[in-house]
Structure 1
């Protein structure tokens, strides 16, 4: 249960103000079809994070505990800094009227997640926990917890979300995770 919970919280923390959240808002305002957008986000994230988790598990099997905890500590500190920097996306001028909303969303989200901090975090958590399903499901749920309300409520809620405070809380969560890994590193 710990891998699922930590994966969910860590990923949800990174998503506030992330480019994928901005992408979700852009797609919701452009298409106004929440169900295919949510399904596109779900399947893209599930597939992307499955790839990351498989790679992470393989890495975890080939790194010793000290090296893994050191990498996780460094990543969580960098993620705390990274989450404080706002992401921006540039909406494309491409006409999507004849394309599938689901397919457009799935492809856009899959590509947006490539090399993103959530994909890296997924790989590292899979390496740490050595259990794929709870990590993949947790990271996917974390993405959905933050993006589904944006898709459904869109521009109605974004003015009321104190994004600066959310970023600081997210950074604090990552620093706590870094501290936890540092303690494991010292204990080993």
Structure 2
């Protein structure tokens, strides 16, 4: 499926075939595409916990107000982020020319250190970009997905052994749909959300 079709056809699906298993090749290919997502300073601060173990998926379902897709989808992925990714910045530019490294690497840590709000904002930006990449890649591979925030973050963190200084940005389920998504609820008018050169002045 081409990218434009994947964007148009991607929907949040709640009902997945619990018998379907994705192959390791499919899972790895899906995540390798996702890892091409952009991040600020190439920090790659996202971390992906890919859950296929049924008992663990069942535990996550219980922490997600018993939403069936969490345990019935082929994959349940917790898209997390490392809030300390700005530390040890040299590793993000190991393959860059020396001149590029010498300019960029010294900029990274000072930009984020002592600014927890910026660290969190950057983490959530990265999670959002990666999540969309993941959903579109899944759609292009013939799978559907459902992005979720409906879960108890403390319980989920315990289930996946979330390290300190990390956050959970989103849960995402991926699999073969048993039924189509509901009809779209309705898009806001284009002119209500898209403005040229700035917001319109109030009368």
TM-score, normalised to structure 2's length?
A: 0.25
TM-score, normalised to structure 1's length?
A: 0.26
Question: Hey, which of these two has a bigger chunk of strand by percent?
Answer: 2
Question: Hey, which of these two has a bigger chunk of helix by percent?
Answer: 1
Higher-RCO chain (CA-CA 8 Å, sequence separation at least 6): 1
